[in-house]
Amino acid sequence: MTRKLRLCLGAVLVVLPLMASTTYADELPISMKWVGSVADAAIDTNGDGLFADTIDANAKGSFGPSTMTVFSEFFFMGFCDAEQKVLYLGILYSKPVMTFANGDQLWGSISSGWMCMNTETGEFNGEGGGEYQGGTGRFADAVGWFTVEFEGTNLTLPLGLPGFGAIRGTTDGAVELH
């Protein structure tokens, strides 16, 4: 095998896996870590006694620093433990908005997911999945998908007060810009 042929073959072997890992030429990976606070809103859209909540967080990730605001409501699905101290909640709906430093926004909608919340300690964790559905600026016609994992502590739950606490998480997925 000539040296030129070996170099070409080596280049192909290096580039080929990179090409295979991208499903669309315009699809970009998006990943961010975020931390913030969560608070109950005085809204119960499905009448189950569980209030919707809002998250305000700061994020760092693929497209630079951003703020994230999320409006969500959960519904009771059962318990995560045999002692019935950890609620198992499904996501009824959740709408995140990421606002980047230049003012561009990326909008999402979480369509599935769950959360387990300990009624004694206030600790919770969960995950969800959804789609990007446009935005403003460079994200005006964006589409894509994402998964989110989160955890935190409802600082007021053990006291029986409206919910307020700390939350942190990660979001990973892909977005296609048009």
Q: What is the pLDDT of residues 9-46, one digit of tens each?
A: 444 444 434 444 444 458 999 999 999 999 999 888 88
> Are the C-beta atoms of 85 and 120 separated by less than 8 Å?
yes
Calculate the average pLDDT of the chain. 87
CB-CB neighbours of 149 under 10 Å:
14
Look at residue 150 in the predicted model and tell me its pLDDT. Answer: 98
Where helices occur in the chain by DSSP H, the ranges are 3-20
Beta bridge partners of 176: 27, 143
**pLDDT for residue 6 is more than 60:** no
> Are the C-beta atoms of 173 and 27 separated by less than 8 Å?
no
pLDDT digits (tens, 9 = 90+) for 77-129: 999 999 999 999 999 999 999 999 999 999 999 999 999 999 999 999 999 99
Q: Say which residue, 161 or 46, is predicted with more confidence.
A: 46
Give the alpha-carbon dihedral of 40, 91, 173, 36, to 10 degrees: 10
Beta bridge partners of 168: 35, 151
